[in-house]
Amino acid sequence: MASSLTKDSASTAGGEKTFFGHPRGLATLFLTEMWERFSYYGMRALLVYYLVSGGADAATGSQGGGLAMTAATATAIYSVYVSMVYLMAMPGGWFGDRVWGARKTVAIAGAVIMVGHLSLALPGQAMFFVGLILVAAGSGLLKANISTMVGHLYDGPEDPRRDGGFTLFYIGINLGAFVAPFVIGTVGKEHNWHFGFALAAVGMGLGLLQFLLGTRHLSPKSNIVPNPLSPEERRAVLLKVTGAVLAVAVFYGVVVAIGAFTLNWALVPLTLAGLVIPVAVLVRIKRDKELSSTEQSKMNGYIWFFVAAAIFWMIYDQGGSTLSLFADDKTADSVFGFAFSATWYQSLNPLFVMALAPVFAWLWLWLARKNQEPNTIVKFAMGLVLVGASFFVFIVPMGMAGDGTKVSPMWLVSIYMIQTIGELCLSPVGLSVTTKMAPQKYASQMMGVWFLAVTAGDCTTGLLSLAGVDLNGTGIIAMEASLAALAGVAVFMYRKKVQTLMGNVH
């Protein structure tokens, strides 16, 4: 598969084939990530619809065969699932660094994800949740290591091809995410849920096959365990993990035995963990006495960005839950007589990213040449205000649909576009500022800390749903929009204070 996307490069010694001028291994990683994202976003496009299918909150005329849950429960499960994917990125990175190495970890992750999707393809609520757990665990393992392997292909940070390589890799992510809702989404939602989930398994299977066939083109570094566990450390880890698993098994065994188990017994602890763990990680880093005063100051500044990002993702990730339910139930499903599945809205974000990311890259460079580029803090404020504005816009079609009217699809197109513009202001900048402000001791771990902001934001959404808050109501949408907008204004108003804490980082 890789060879079909490679070409000869005169600049490469011996006429070795390259991938658009980049190391040939990039084709392997590009296609692996593209197929993994195809499976992930295709399944995600189905998730909420499958959960409510057959229940009171399903759209009129939608197919049955789902789990007949309420919209609130479906939103909570969706939010917890997405948060766990990002939470698992931290242990995923640990496995790559200390147990298996990046290459082996990605291969195992691909197999786990594929089995997870196959579990989703089987009828039954028990298999469904087993599948969700496997896909979340596998996605976390893969996410933390495959980007590291892209970096291994280049001769250090100064290699002039490095940024271009990551850009191509990013295109693979969005290409898979763009196509998936058209294929997996349409088949699953409009024809058969389990066929859709099975297609996601096929997608991941193709990605895994591509990876295994192309491993010879990867850097030898990706096969090395950078900091392997000593025998003593391995025994200690096994002992702790075994003890924790047994304790959880005994606890839930008792709950089941006395007939008290409900879904909330699983969702509430996971949601609380998704809020407590990010805070605990930040506190642990902050309390490290080995950090210099400059590093302590930068961590104080970083907390501003972390909280801002959590608020942003709390709203943004409702594109696959709150907005999806609105799309299915209260939005017209045709344009100029052309009917389409509500899952297609999930293709808008990757489409807008691919269309607008080059424009933003050019815009920041153009403004930088004029010495007018907004700094990191201002870009974060812009992202928050924009994601808040998207929900203020959302209030309008919600009001129009109150009497049963089906609103124009252009409302959702506009909302997703505003959110994507906000994402392009905040997300790439957040990745960059994380690497710049990370204490030297925690340079590798801080990327996982950035992903924990997504976990915290999604778990906040999940906790609200579990508490009985109607996230599909106009009042809560207005409150979330106001929170994001006010947070953006606060970040902007205190930008000088934050800049002082950041020191020499701009």
**pLDDT for 282-335, tens place per residue?**
999 998 888 999 999 999 999 999 999 999 999 999 999 999 999 999 999 988
CA distances from 102 to 6, 9, 92, 109, 280 (A): 23, 28, 9, 10, 26
Say what the pLDDT of residue 1 is.
Answer: 37
Say what the pLDDT of residue 452 is.
Answer: 93
My answer on whether 201 and 284 are in the same domain is no
The candidate with the shortest Cα–Cα distance to 90, out of 41, 139, 21, is 139
My answer on whether 268 and 221 are in the same domain is no
For residues 346 and 33, give the distance between their C-alpha atoms in angstroms, rounded to a whole number: 18
My answer on whether 287 and 199 are in the same domain is no
My answer on whether 291 and 202 are in the same domain is no
Q: Check whether 14 has a pLDDT greater than 70.
A: no
Strand-pairing partners, residue 172, are none
β-strand 334-335 against 338-339: which pairing, if any? antiparallel
My answer on whether 399 and 447 are in the same domain is yes
Task: Pick the last residue of a domain from 228, 249, 280.
Answer: 228
Say what the pLDDT of residue 11 is.
Answer: 41
Structure tokens at 152: 């291994």
Is 29 a domain residue? yes
Listed in order, strand segments (DSSP E) in 375-432 are none
Q: Check whether 9 has a pLDDT greater than 70.
A: no
Is 309 a domain residue? yes
Task: Pick the last residue of a domain from 228, 251, 286.
Answer: 228
Q: Which 8-state DSSP code applies to residue 440?
A: G
Is 297 a domain residue? yes
Is 254 a domain residue? no
Say what the pLDDT of residue 181 is.
Answer: 97
Q: Three-state DSSP class for 6? A: coil
Is 241 a domain residue? no
Mean pLDDT to the nearest integer, 61-74 = 91
The number of distinct structural domains making up the chain is 2
My answer on whether 174 and 287 are in the same domain is no
Q: Check whether 165 has a pLDDT greater than 90.
A: no
Q: Interior CA angle at 342 toward 340 and 343, to 5°?
A: 105
Say what the pLDDT of residue 157 is.
Answer: 64
My answer on whether 329 and 465 are in the same domain is yes
Is 353 a domain residue? yes
Q: Give percent of the chain with pLDDT exceeding 70.
A: 95
pTM for the full predicted model: 0.91
Q: Check whether 2 has a pLDDT greater than 60.
A: no
Is 247 a domain residue? no
Q: How far apart are the first and last CA of the chain?
A: 42
Q: Based on the number of CB atoms within 10 Å of its own CB, is 502 exposed (0-12), middle (13-18) or buried (19 or more)?
A: buried
Structure tokens at 333: 């499903």
My answer on whether 223 and 269 are in the same domain is no
Task: Pick the last residue of a domain from 228, 248, 278.
Answer: 228
Asked if 92 contacts 144 with a C-beta cutoff of 8 angstroms, the reply is: yes
**Residue pLDDT, tens place only, 353-366:** 999 988 988 998 89
Structure tokens at 440: 């030297």
Q: Indicate which CATH number applies to the domain containing 381.
A: 1.20.1250.20
Q: Check whether 380 has a pLDDT greater than 70.
A: yes
Mean pLDDT to the nearest integer, 481-496 = 95
My answer on whether 214 and 304 are in the same domain is no
Q: Check whether 6 has a pLDDT greater than 50.
A: no
**Which residue range(s) make up the domain with 376?**
262-506
My answer on whether 219 and 269 are in the same domain is no
My answer on whether 298 and 382 are in the same domain is yes
My answer on whether 346 and 391 are in the same domain is yes
**Residue pLDDT, tens place only, 237-251:** 999 999 999 999 999
Is 246 a domain residue? no
Asked if 101 contacts 93 with a C-beta cutoff of 8 angstroms, the reply is: no
